Structures are given as C-alpha cells and as structure tokens.
Amino acid sequence: MDADVPFPDTTFVEGSRLAHDGEFWRRLAAAGARKLPRWWMRYSPPFFGLAAAALLPEARRAVRNNLEHIRGPAPRWIDAIETATTFATYASCLSEGLARGSKNETPLRTTFIGHEHLRTAIARGKGIVLLTMHTAGWEVATPAFVLDAKLDVMVVMEGERDPRAQAIQDHPRGLWGAKVVRVGGDPLAALPILRHVENKGAVAMQMDRPPSNGRKLTVKLLGREHAVPEGPLRIAQLTGAALLPTFTARLGFNTYCGRTYSPLWLPRRASGEEIQEAAQTIGDAMGDFLRDFPTQWFHWR
C-alpha cells in the first residue's frame, strides 16, 4: 500500500513521531500485533479500522466514492456498511502483516486462480513484472504465490515520509523471502529493478496509484479515467519480461484468494499505441477484479 497508510496526504514534519503515518502509531500497531495475545491480534483490528473511518472524513469520502465508482450508487446504509468493511479489512491486513516473525504468526492460506498464466510467463524465461493493486493481501499473498514457483521476488513501493515508520513496516515483509525496494525521485533507483528482472526474477509493482514523481498513463477504469504508472510497462519493454496482472483479496483470518490474468508482452520497440493498449488491457483486468471485491480496494485518494 502506497506509504501503507489509509489517509490522504499531509505534510510530514521530520521528527514528528505523532503524525498519522509516523513512527509512534506504527510502533503501537506492531506491538499489538506481535506482543499482545493472539486473540487480540486477530479480533481487535476491525475496531481500530472503524475508529479510523470515524475520525478521518476525507479518507471515508474517498472510500465511499470508490465504492460508487465500482458498483454504482447505493442506499446510504449500504454505503456505510461497505465503507466500514473496507476500513476493517485494511486494519486486519495490517495486523496480520505486522505479526510475521512473531509469536502470533500463523500459516498463510492462499487460493489462486490462474496458475497457468504464471507458468506461461515463466516459460518465456525473461522475468516477470507482477502488476498488483492496493487490495487486501497484495504484499503477502502475491509474493507467497510467486515464491511457491521458485522465483526470486522483489516488492517495489514508493518511499514513506517517515523512514522510521517505514522500517517497522518493511521488517516483517522481508521475512517472506521477498526483497523490498523503495523508490522515489532518483531515476537510478530503477537499476536494481531492471537487473532483478533481467536475472529472471519477479518484480511486484502497483498499478492503481502512480508514484508522485513518476510518468503516468491514463486508462479507463470501470468507465472513468484513471492514472496508472508507466514505469512497469517500460521495464517490461526493455527486458522482454511478462506483464502479469495479479490481484488479491482477504477471505478471513490469514486467508487470501488471488486471481492472475493472461500475461502480456511488449516488443522492445513498442509504439506509444501499443503501450497504451497494454495499459488499457491491464485497466480492464483491474476493473474486473474490483467488481468482485469492491470493499477490498485500499485506494484512499
């Protein structure tokens, strides 16, 4: 999740540990997930998610707008229930992720549809660019799915405003065996990603929220214009890697499902039209998944 925080952007003041995306709150969440009894880690997160929904009207409006975008207008009581469900699911995912490597860790259960698409992508021998969204389980279920195929996995995310909070979040991610890389405005940050793909590894990159400093493409997502990052497509173009849309959702405690769509390849000299067409195919896959899991999209902008 971009900056892994369910709130709209605010200015982070260096040293402000009480900022909503600062070290204090992240450390508190990690302590609850890792040190308190397992029943607390399992059952308390939805209440904190509901509290966040109540206290953060901008984020709440963003979620309600997303829901209407996906499934159309609905009665207010349905909006309220589905908005609350989205925040509760996010909090549960956060807690389960932070519990990795602690006494509260439990086995992850995943079910994926589309194994044949992963096998097809691997058979090309050119690496894979996994295209994810900020949906439930993307950072744990997707790497686990690909690691099962004996591929090296790199998870790429935009850097957070508070490096201390970021370190707390990234530590349990590394316990899965996936390498976490944070990118920002430095163009050289893409070099390790390119090398990883060229070595036939898999790189997970988010498509529903472009980085603040990156180039963007515009696609139709469920009938509306939506910006997606251009970078993942360019990496696939340069390396010959497969573009593999793979999205996940949470079904219950430490239980996730996923869906992998048909891989795409771009020629090295792909035209602007070919790149745009590939981007729209990816946007169509995103929309297809969101229709089935509207309360699992953690897009707070």
Count the neighbouring beta carbons within 10 Å of the beta carbon of residue 105: 18
The model's pTM: 0.87
Below-50 pLDDT ranges, the chain: 1-15, 18
Reading phi first (left if > 0) and then psi (alpha if -120 to 50, else beta), residue 29 is in: alpha
Do the Cβ atoms of 102 and 33 come closer than 8 Å? yes
CB-based contacts of 132, cutoff 8 Å, min separation 6: 138, 142, 204, 205, 206, 207, 246, 247, 248
Residues linked to residue 297 through DSSP beta bridges, in sequence order: 135
> What's the confidence (pLDDT) of residue 178?
72
DSSP letters of 211-268? -TTS-EEEEEETTEEEEEESHHHHHHHHH-PEEEEEEEEEEETTEEEEEEPPPB---T
Residues linked to residue 110 through DSSP beta bridges, in sequence order: 256
Residues linked to residue 179 through DSSP beta bridges, in sequence order: 154
Helix, strand, coil shares of the chain, percent, nearest 5, are 50, 20, 35
> What's the confidence (pLDDT) of residue 162?
67
Among residues 226, 266, 225, the alpha carbon closest in space to that of 244 is found at: 266
Among residues 188, 275, 282, 192, the alpha carbon closest in space to that of 237 is found at: 275
Distance (Å, whole) CA 151 – CA 105: 23
> What's the confidence (pLDDT) of residue 259?
95
Distance (Å, whole) CA 196 – CA 202: 7
pLDDT digits (tens, 9 = 90+) for 130-170: 999 999 988 888 887 887 888 888 888 776 666 676 677 77
Distance (Å, whole) CA 23 – CA 18: 7
Q: Tell me how far CA of residue 52 lies from CA of 1, 19, 254, in angstroms.
A: 16, 14, 22
CB-based contacts of 156, cutoff 8 Å, min separation 6: 181, 182, 183, 193, 203, 204, 205, 206
> What's the confidence (pLDDT) of residue 164?
75
> What's the confidence (pLDDT) of residue 3?
39
CB-based contacts of 115, cutoff 8 Å, min separation 6: 260
Do the Cβ atoms of 139 and 1 come closer than 8 Å? yes
